[in-house]
Chains A and B, each alone.
Chain A
Amino acid sequence: MADHDFKYQLERLFNTPPSLADSEAFALRVEARLAKGWQMRNLVLGASGLIGGLIAVRQAMGLNLYGRLEAFSGLEARQALAGFAHWTPSHLGLPLWPFGGEAIWMSGGLMILAIGFALIRLLEEV
């Protein structure tokens, strides 16, 4: 057999995978480890976010940021509500709703969180 032919045959032999009885079990083990790693990653990210949030709240309280933000958000929220009022039916009476600036900011935050969760879910589905 010529060298070239032999090398070609050898490559073909190497590229022919052996028949292994536990191929499915192997794939399942890899998938399980992937899922575990993914859960761990989510856990670490969540924990990091929580710790970061707590530190941020503590810092904000230390700087009396809440009081400043309250004063600022009251004005901003009133402006935002006035803006919404132009785009909503008048019978809803949005500017008259009994919530302040904090509620608007909290709603915005929750909305961002919801969008984040939806995006993560979408990425996992795809």
Chain B
Amino acid sequence: MSIQKARPLASLHDMDLVSLSVAGGRAAFGELVRRHGPGVRGLLRRIGAEPDLADDVAQDAFLTAFEQIAEFRGDGSFAGWVKRIAVRLHIRRWKKDRRLDLVAETPEPVWDGSEQPGDSTSQARHMDLDTALAALSPAERACVSLCFGAGMSHAEAAEALNIPLGTVKSHVKRGLERLKHQLAPNAEARSEQDAHG
């Protein structure tokens, strides 16, 4: 009887599944895909990829991860490792499609920063990140997602995007300011007020 049949894969820790995958266990790797597929696909969409493109890149990222699984040492989480692979693949496509210039320079945000967000952290769980990210410029969205979604440092993001470190920092700073505004607990109410004049 194989190990997989003796122990249900769903109950295994990521590192156990990685060990099985290193030995060629496709079923074990499939379980990792089930666990972390939504996270990887979600991150790519949050960076700004269309859903179909995000899924294609996520698939490629998991296939690459399977090929390179022996190189995963477990220093960080498996999800984080695959996310970084996915982000790099996505950026490579971005460069290929010559859309990286979207990230290089962007106009100043429309929001004037006059309103301050609330202080209640308890309501943070109600934040709608995807809606808030949609309000950011492509550059801000990419930089914030790389740093907070893929766990990259500013320097790593700058290297991945092939843009100056200072540009990444300013995109992240502006993006955070806008997100803070968008994700404020009373943002929804404020938006409605704005809509009504």
Which A residues are closer than 8 A to B by beta carbons?
Answer: 1, 3, 5-7, 9-20, 23-24, 26-27, 29-31, 33-35, 37-38, 123-126
| Contact indicator per residue, chain B 184-196, by CB within 8 Å of chain A (1) or not (0) | 1000000000000
B119 touches A (CB below 8 Å): yes
Are the CB atoms of B42 and A18 closer together than 8 Å?
Answer: yes
Which residue of chain B has the shortest Cβ distance to A20 in the bound complex? B38
On chain A, the residues within 8 Å of B118 by CB distance are 1
- On whether A10 and B148 interact (CB within 8 A), knowing A1-B118, A126-B2, the answer reads yes
Partner of A124, one of B24, B38, B120: B24
Are the CB atoms of A33 and B129 closer together than 8 Å?
Answer: no
- On whether A9 and B121 interact (CB within 8 A), knowing A34-B29, A35-B26, the answer reads yes
The smallest C-beta distance from B146 to any residue of chain A, in angstroms, reads 10
On chain A, the residues within 8 Å of B17 by CB distance are none
- A-side interface mostly: helix
Which residue of chain A has the shortest Cβ distance to B51 in the bound complex? A20
Are the CB atoms of B148 and A7 closer together than 8 Å?
Answer: yes
Partner of A27, one of B3, B30, B129: B30
| Contact indicator per residue, chain B 1-29, by CB within 8 Å of chain A (1) or not (0) | 01100000000000000001001111101
B124 touches A (CB below 8 Å): yes
Please report which residues of chain B, range 107-136, place their CB below 8 angstroms from some CB of chain A when the two chains form the complex: 117-121, 124, 127, 129-130
On chain B, the residues within 8 Å of A20 by CB distance are 37-38, 41-42
CA distance A33 to B41 in the complex (A): 17
Are the CB atoms of B37 and A30 closer together than 8 Å?
Answer: yes
Are the CB atoms of A17 and B63 closer together than 8 Å?
Answer: no
Are the CB atoms of B34 and A11 closer together than 8 Å?
Answer: no
Please report which residues of chain B, range 152-193, place their CB below 8 angstroms from some CB of chain A when the two chains form the complex: 176, 179-180, 183-184
